[in-house]
Amino acid sequence: MTTGIDALTDKEKQTLRLLLGGHDAKSSARALGLSVHTVNERLREARRKLGTTSSREAARLLLAQEGEQTPEILGDKALGDAPGRVAAPDTTAAAPRRRAGFRLRRGPALTLAGVTAMSLILAALFLPASPLSVLAPAPAVTTAAATLAAEDEAAGAARAAEAFLALLDESRWAESYAATGAEFRRLNTLEVWSEVSERARPPLGKVLTRDLVGNEWVPAPPSGYRLVKFRSTYANGTSQTESLSLAREDGAWKVAGITFD
């Protein structure tokens, strides 16, 4: 069985680098958008491969291998497991959509002509086909600080997406409209947004579950965006994937498009 630094996976290294930045298992899970259970599984595998009994010692071994200076760590924190559903991230790279909008495909109650019209009316983000849309992934992050910054970006986008969906759950159309980007608002008025949202969301009933299943960076023009996906179930029996594209605007994540499948 292969052991040592070379045996670590990229995800295990990623988790160890968060420890170097002062995180414990719980805050690492928040930064990565994962469960504490998944983070602990990664740390256990890293300890086994490196032959250490401490996760932070394993992190220091990785740091020594990468030639970095160990940051000051103010004591080890307990890395206990926590119960809860494990939300498996969607790791399949999705090709950028030519147009991201508010598009619904549901059961018979919502598969009416009005839904098709809504898809056309609320197209929000146009992403032209370009070689830039299939850029190779950026080189692996080599510093703990840079890794932490990237994971914080992903976690921030996930929080913004979930908060937006919560506004829809509460029929707060004006507030959800305010959380969209300038291009979305240019193409769609508040009146249109409120009208189609009122037809589409209330019939689903109360949201029962909503699990994060994907969070990826899409390097599409002009500045790229994050594609965040949730799997949700509702009181009327509907189960759907909610995909939101978000772009940075005025220092915050703004919704550029939303698709319900």
Residue 94 lies in a domain: no
Residue-wise pLDDT tens digits, 58-117: 888 888 887 644 444 333 444 334 444 444 444 443 433 433 344 444 443 333 334 333
pLDDT of residue 63: 86
Paired tokens of 170: 């509460």
Residue 84 lies in a domain: no
Residues 243 and 123 in one domain: yes
Burial of 31 per CB tally in 10 Å (0-12, 13-18, 19+): buried
Mapping DSSP to helix (H, G, I), strand (E, B) and coil, where does residue 137 land?
coil
Residue-wise pLDDT tens digits, 79-88: 334 444 444 4
Residues 62 and 176 in one domain: no
| CATH code, domain carrying 30 | 1.10.10.10
pLDDT of 25 > 60? The answer is yes
Residue 88 lies in a domain: no
Question: Domain total for the chain?
Answer: 2
| CATH code, domain carrying 241 | 3.10.450.100
CB of 147 within 8 A of CB of 14? yes
Residue 79 lies in a domain: no
Q: Which helix (H) or strand (E) holds 216?
A: strand 207-218
Using CA atoms of 137, 215, 43, 141 in order, give the dihedral in degrees to the nearest 10.
Answer: 30
> Pairing state of beta strands 252-260 and 207-218?
unpaired
Residue-wise pLDDT tens digits, 155-170: 999 999 999 999 999 9
> Pairing state of beta strands 207-218 and 123-126?
unpaired
What residues make up the domain containing 108? 99-260
Paired tokens of 166: 């919560």
Residue 243 lies in a domain: yes
Residues 47 and 118 in one domain: no
The pTM for the full model equals 0.48
